[in-house]
Structure 1
Amino acid sequence: MANSLLSRAADAGGALLGRLQSVRLPGVGTASAKDDPATAARRWRAVTVLADPGRLTELPAPLAALGDRVETRVIPAPGDKGTELAARYRGPATDEDIGRLRQALREAKQLVEVGEVLRMDPRPHGERAQTPGGRLLDGAVAASRREGVL
């Protein structure tokens, strides 16, 4: 009985977190209006990489894997803060494609700066307890892969 209630509470918490992650407040981290799909696909997405622009003579593997579907640019970041690595789709793209592009940019940044893509899974310390908080955190981590935020 207690396990059933615990499981339902965790599922409800995960569902609530999923809804809250899609809430966007105007002026807080995003544009006040969502772009139409064609405009969103053509918008540049960028990360600032702590590296000299000359160090990025080849695209990091995650971006290179997207192939000719994306165009990229590598320019010095403003204020001598490293390099701006930007990419956008050449043609139509789905929300899933845009999520993959954002993930590829984050992974490219990690490869250049750290030398590897950092992962939370598998956990070196073992499995997380299946408590409501543990399930909630597992759900948040799974959802964050696409958008890059918890």
Structure 2
Amino acid sequence: MDLDQLISRATGLTTGAGAALLGRLQSVRLPGVGTASAKDDPATAARRWRAVTVLAAPDRLADLPSPLAALGDRVETRVRPAPGDKGTELAARFRGPATDDDLGRLRQALRETKQLVEVGEVLRMDPRPHGERADTPGGRLLDGAVAASRKEGLL
């Protein structure tokens, strides 16, 4: 085996080992270190508080806006002054079991509530002012990502 083949083989083995290690590290969870609730079991994830900071006085949130009110008695909410006198912290969590779709609706409701209180309306990007996106595989993929981002966060 000549030197070029040896270097090529070593590079391939190193790349494969690095990819395998990275794949394992991505699923490692350190307690208390910025991890998403998606890795928790469903019962724990449902009981976790989700919160947004709203630039408004706490009394403006005495009556819950419609996005959170639509979830009804399934969720409990908490309203308190945000740290550092930076508005109001609005938090919500499910009282009982919840699916991944339920958790997505809760995150979406919190973001929409924040927008309603701060701006007066829920901001939308659809329909796009510049027209429709081309019906290509990339366009469909982007449309799907935008639709999913409403529940999972911003792109």
Q: Of the candidates 72, 75, 81, which is equivalent to residue 86 of structure 2? A: 81
- Structure with bigger gyration radius: 2
Structural mapping, 1:11-90, within 5 Å = 29-31=34-36, 34-90=39-95
CA drift at 1:113:
0.6
Structural mapping, 1:81-120, within 5 Å = 81-120=86-125
Name stretches of at least 5 consecutive residues in structure 1 with no aligned partner: 1-22
TM-score scaled by structure 2? 0.73
2:78 match: secondary structure: strand
- Higher RCO, Cα 8 Å, sep 6+: 1
Q: Given that residues 49 and 83 in structure 1 are in contact (C-alpha distance below 8 angstroms), is that contact kept between their aligned partners in structure 2? A: yes
2:52 match: secondary structure: strand
Cα displacement string for residues 21-63 of structure 1 (whole angstroms, at most 9, x for unaligned residues): xx77857852598211111101110000111112212101100
Partner of 2:6: none
Q: Given that residues 38 and 45 in structure 2 are in contact (C-alpha distance below 8 angstroms), is that contact kept between their aligned partners in structure 1? A: no
Root mean square deviation, CA, Å: 2.3
Name stretches of at least 5 consecutive residues in structure 2 with no aligned partner: 1-25
1:144 match: secondary structure: helix
TM-score scaled by structure 1? 0.75
Structure-2 change in CA distance of 1:54 and 1:94 (3 Å): same
CA drift at 1:121:
1.1
Partner of 1:136: 141
Q: Given that residues 44 and 87 in structure 1 are in contact (C-alpha distance below 8 angstroms), is that contact kept between their aligned partners in structure 2? A: yes
